[in-house]
Chain A
């Protein structure tokens, strides 16, 4: 039995997703697939398997975004890492997982999700990190999300070192409830959970420090709390997804139902 407060999960119980759309899928078709199938299916097919929070963002189509930066990012918290792995025993999760193939480049792990490890001062490409160790509830908190390209003037090692320096400062000095980051060779994705309640004035944030360090293409997002009004078998045309859409999906968890 977990000794955590209900609603809070460990900072490493999250899959950090970076997705690249299939080259023959036009960006409008990509938005359509995400809004009519993929994003709502993530919740509807997996909530009964222990999905704890889901925060997808769509950088695809933003002006100037390099192709080397993911077209969609997401963090998917589960009740635990074991809950995630056990999900594949369920038909609903297996079915949902296979829907990726019609949307994303999956060969050679171009699009991928990984669990994070605790940040200890350095970064490895495609290995997510979490900066804080406390359990948190990312569905009901205020999330900021930042996506950036590697500046052309920096090689990969210098890029990672620059990010690591900023993450170290955030970890030491910024009072956040949670923070996640993942650097690829050519991009950074970063999420933070602030203690401020929705609608309150700006809480503590590390995003400006990252913006100062990464001066080529970047974009900051504020995932909008979003309820799905439907079930699997209701008549519903889907969500409106466009360039820059960012959602923090709100749903009743299996553990709360």
Chain B
């Protein structure tokens, strides 16, 4: 093994539809402080530590700033990339993932948060986006844990009606797909009637924000436009550790410990 291979973790590119695109709305019974505390002390680190052994390949959670954020904009977003499109469902055969999945209802308004999560190609859209359907704009595999990711969250510009908003964002996405900007190997997009969220990935660490996103931002009132900060967790499941302060770290790309073979271990082969 060369010194370069020692310093650089192995890359695991996954298909563009091998991701769950989460938009979480806080439960009305939960204050934002409680929400951030729950996510930072339990939910986000549990996702990052319980699931990579059975197929989670990248995890990019973001807390959406609350100042001036309209209610229609999610309180939290996350991308969860899996080794294959089927790996997410297969992973539930392991109790670690069933434990994690049982946590969702505590802090979220699940009626609002339970929207489609798996993207389809923007090529399948016809003149306008379907609200709450995530789309991938590029088709090649990518490793979103490595490199750099920029994330935009914005509310629908008030002068645009929902139908016009969905149509104009579609126009932007189609143009992005037709002429992908250089240095970009992945892009995801989802719109509700009142918001847009987009992620653009470059395989290069420290890449600059992609200027091709600016026309999309112009269709919104941006709430967040940030580079995901690469973060290595400083503790494991059983270490004495209070968790993450997500009020300080809003947009993260959590570095996972990824085994080469990532699926539940059949009985008898442990």
Residues of A at the B interface (CB closer than 8 Å) are 33, 36-37, 40-41, 44-45, 48-49, 86, 89-92, 94-96, 98-99, 101-102, 229-238
Instruction: Give the chain B neighbours of A96 by CB distance below 8 A.
Output: 99
Q: A36-B98, A40-B95, A90-B238 are in contact. Are A233 and B41 (CB under 8 A)?
A: no
Question: Are A232 and B49 within 8 A (Cβ)?
Answer: no
Question: Are B106 and A92 within 8 A (Cβ)?
Answer: no
From B38, which residue of chain A is reached at the shortest CB distance? Answer: A98
Which of B103, B236, B266 sits near A99, CB closer than 8 Å?
B103
Supply 11 A–B pairs (Cβ within 8 Å), ascending by A. Answer: A36-B98, A45-B99, A91-B41, A98-B42, A98-B103, A231-B265, A233-B53, A234-B266, A234-B270, A235-B265, A236-B93
Question: Are A37 and B95 within 8 A (Cβ)?
Answer: yes
In whole angstroms, what is the CA distance A229 to B103 when docked? 24
Instruction: Give the chain A neighbours of B241 by CB distance below 8 A.
Output: 89-91
Question: Are A101 and B242 within 8 A (Cβ)?
Answer: no
B239 at the interface (CB under 8 A from A): yes
From B54, which residue of chain A is reached at the shortest CB distance? Answer: A233
Instruction: Give the chain B neighbours of A44 by CB distance below 8 A.
Output: 95
In whole angstroms, what is the CA distance A233 to B53 when docked? 7
Residues of B at the A interface (CB closer than 8 Å) are 41-42, 45-46, 49-50, 53-54, 93-96, 98-100, 102-103, 105-106, 235-243, 264-267, 270
From B107, which residue of chain A is reached at the shortest CB distance? Answer: A98
Question: Are A91 and B243 within 8 A (Cβ)?
Answer: yes
A149 to chain B, nearest CB (A): 30
From B241, which residue of chain A is reached at the shortest CB distance? Answer: A91
Instruction: Give the chain A neighbours of B93 by CB distance below 8 A.
Output: 235-237
Question: Are B237 and A92 within 8 A (Cβ)?
Answer: yes
Question: Are A235 and B267 within 8 A (Cβ)?
Answer: yes
In whole angstroms, what is the CA distance A44 to B96 when docked? 9
Which of A48, A92, A236 sits near B95, CB closer than 8 Å?
A236
Question: Are B99 and A95 within 8 A (Cβ)?
Answer: yes
Instruction: Give the chain B neighbours of A94 by CB distance below 8 A.
Output: 41-42, 243
Q: A37-B102, A41-B99, A98-B42 are in contact. Are A89 and B267 (CB under 8 A)?
A: no
Instruction: Give the chain A neighbours of B103 by CB distance below 8 A.
Output: 95, 98-99
